[in-house]
Amino acid sequence: MKKFFTSYIKGQKRIWLMMVLMLVSSILSILEPYLSGQLVDMLRILDFTGMGYFALAIAVVAIIWAISRYYMQKNSISIQSDVSKKLELDLCNKALNIKSVFISTLKSGELTSICKEEPSKMMEEIDDVVKMVFSVLTSVSALLYVAYLSPTIFILYMVFFTMIFAYQNISLSKEQECTDKEKFENDSAKSWINQIFKGFIDIKVLNLKGVVFERFNTILSNEIAMRKEKTEANAKNRMVSHIAFQVYSLLFLITEIYLLMQEDITTSIFITIYLYRNHMYNLIFNISEIRSKVAEIRNRLKRIGKILYIEDEMLENFGTINGTKDEIFVIDISNVSFSYGGEQGDVLKNISLRVSYGEVIGLVGASGSAKSTIIKLISRQLQPSSGKITLNGVDIQDYSEEGYTDLISVASQQPFVFSCSIRENLNMVKKDATEAEMKRALEKAQILGVVESLKNGLDTRLSEVTELSGGEVQRLALARLFLKNTPIIILDEATSAIDNRSQAEITKIIMEEAKNHIFIIIAHRIEAVRDADRILFVKEGTIADEGKHQDLLERNEEYRNLVSTD
């Protein structure tokens, strides 16, 4: 918690103004009951001039209090907004830098909640705590003044305070337990909803609607049960506190009347103490609320800390070297092995490979043979367990992030398109791209005709559930690669949903572009790599064979079997 406050709260220039305004507000709220007591004293002795002065003073205090509260709230909103924005940006930046292999350890619902919901909610609670702390200080000041005016009333209050505080301590523990369970179930519900939308098609075609709905019903029922239990505990606490306050107020009033009759206190002291009773009640309520909210803030910080203070080994680390697109590139994979950990051992086993500029390399093999693992290692989504991958003799781990990503592009089997226009999707990879460049890239990807047939053309907005078919989305992803035009282009079954005619045209384009690039292609269909300079046959985490398509057909039975089942 200290680290968070040092990083995000301490630097806020408005904090001190906020503190001053709160102090002014607190002083005024103590002053008003005193002035009201004096006003009643003036009324008792029929001093109308004095009544006028005190009435005016009360009005001025009330106006200044209202103005200070307005500016306090205004500053509070500004501070909350600034800190929340900075925190959300930092969380997003951290999340974007988590290694791909670790991102799956976080529930999708939890990740969304941490990066977007938790910061603003936490700042609201911090603001509430700060205001309640000042309210407590005000109440303590009022209580000390009451102790000076009437020790008897002070003792009565302390007895009441001790009893209610002990009860609330038990109640708050119960509420916190329910809150923790509710958050867990809430994250589970969000995660399950995300999975439903991602697996929407499979759910329908496999007739899983009943099972999926029942699972969601169970999770939601658990969440609602915890929420109800927490709300009931909170309501019970408030009911008991309210009843106790009414009993306390009655005893308070009876005691004051008795002291007034005994002439132990004056009328003005009677009025002042009676008006202070709310301050003294708020002292109990605010201390309980502060404890509850501090526990809630700690929980939110703990959740936020999963991303904000994530361990360094879970984050991508880059060097400082920047390459240039004008170089002649050579990729060297030297004795590289990789393991995801656990008992399964090495997924990739001591492979070596050299790929030179101008080459088109095909990777083929049975499902699970580790083709995609090779791609992920080259693109730095994973890091080798042993061995080294170099680009032009430089370990790829030594390149800066921008320097490396400017040299390499990857298109996957299930590419992601953003919920914005086609033009904006293309501009993301090249900000200054002209419309002519965009259309040329779309033409190479065999999707220009589709885009031009849309009502708004390049300005057609794509939604999360896009109207484009799977093959069209893949072609749009290829267009992004052609527009970005990096020296190294990797296609991880990126044309698996594309029709044969478009596939043939794209393959033709790739072969024409090859002299200025390195293409590494994982093929779902052998046609995509038939004309490659080399085809690597990957088997059980090793490169079992390599050569031209025809050479492999003639000498490798397993390759022939793979081709025949294509």
The Cβ of residue 337 has, within 10 Å, a number of other Cβ atoms equal to 16
Residue 279 contacts residue 136 (beta carbons within 8 Å):
no
Cα dist from 515 to 505, 510, 555, whole Å: 17, 9, 28
Q: What is the pLDDT of residue 395?
A: 93
Nearest to 277 by CA among 307, 299, 246: 246
Q: What is the pLDDT of residue 359?
A: 94
Q: What is the pLDDT of residue 505?
A: 87
Give the bridge partners for 360, in sequence order: 519
pLDDT confidence of 334, banded at 50, 70, 90? very high
Give the bridge partners for 348, in sequence order: 338
463 — phi, psi (to 5°)? -100, 175
Question: 330-564 sits in which CATH class?
Answer: alpha beta
**341-390 pLDDT tens trace:** 766 678 899 999 999 999 999 999 888 889 989 999 999 988 899 999 99
Q: What is the pLDDT of residue 528?
A: 85
The Cβ of residue 370 has, within 10 Å, a number of other Cβ atoms equal to 23
Q: What is the pLDDT of residue 138?
A: 84
Q: What is the pLDDT of residue 252?
A: 77
pLDDT confidence of 65, banded at 50, 70, 90? confident
pLDDT score of 178 more than 90: no
pLDDT score of 109 more than 70: no
The continuous run of DSSP H or E covering 215 comes out as helix 209-261
**118-138 pLDDT tens trace:** 888 888 888 888 888 888 888
Query: Which whole number is the average pLDDT over 267-287?
Result: 80
What distance, in Å, lies between the first and last C-alpha atoms of the chain? 58
- Report the chain's mean pLDDT, rounded to a whole number: 84
- Polymer length of the chain: 566
Is 335 or 172 the better-scoring residue by pLDDT?
A: 335
Residue 22 contacts residue 319 (beta carbons within 8 Å):
no
pLDDT confidence of 104, banded at 50, 70, 90? low
Residue 101 contacts residue 340 (beta carbons within 8 Å):
yes
| Identity at 488, one-letter amino acid code | I
Place of tokens 């702390």: 133
Nearest to 23 by CA among 110, 138, 191, 126: 138
Percentage of the chain lying above the pLDDT 70 cut: 95
| Identity at 287, one-letter amino acid code | I
pLDDT score of 9 more than 60: yes
Q: What is the pLDDT of residue 105?
A: 64
> Please, what's the b/e burial string for 257-277 (b: 16 or more CB within 10 A of its CB; e: otherwise)?
eebeeeeebbebbbbbbbbbb
Query: Which whole number is the average pLDDT over 211-219?
Result: 84
Question: Is this prediction's pTM over 0.75?
Answer: no
pLDDT score of 92 more than 70: yes
Q: What is the pLDDT of residue 166?
A: 76
Residue 373 contacts residue 348 (beta carbons within 8 Å):
yes
pLDDT score of 464 more than 60: no
| Domain covering 2-312, topology | ABC transporter transmembrane region fold (1.20.1560)
Query: Which whole number is the average pLDDT over 311-329?
Result: 83
Query: Which whole number is the average pLDDT over 545-553?
Result: 92
For 1-67, give the DSSP string.
Answer: -HHHIIIIITT-THHHHHHHHHHHHHHHHHHHHHHHHHHHHHHHTT-HHHHHHHHHHHHHHHHHHHH
pLDDT score of 278 more than 60: yes
Residue 374 contacts residue 381 (beta carbons within 8 Å):
no
pLDDT confidence of 42, banded at 50, 70, 90? confident
Q: What is the pLDDT of residue 548?
A: 93
pLDDT score of 277 more than 90: no
> What gap in Å lies between CA 358 and CA 517, rounded to an integer?
5
Q: Where are the domains of the chain?
A: 2-312, 330-564
Q: Alpha carbon 208 to chain centroid distance?
A: 30
The pair of structure tokens assigned to 283 is: 């002292």
Q: Alpha carbon 115 to chain centroid distance?
A: 1
pLDDT confidence of 1, banded at 50, 70, 90? low
Orientation angle between helical segments 48-96 and 118-149, nearest 10 degrees: 150
**10-22 pLDDT tens trace:** 767 778 888 888 8
Enumerate long-range contacts of 131-137, CB under 8 Å, 24 or more apart: 131/22, 131/76, 132/286, 132/289, 132/290, 132/293, 133/290, 134/22, 134/23, 134/25, 134/26, 135/26, 135/282, 135/286, 136/283, 136/286, 136/287, 136/290, 137/26
Answer left, alpha or beta for residue 353, where phi above 0 means left and psi between -120 and 50 means alpha.
beta
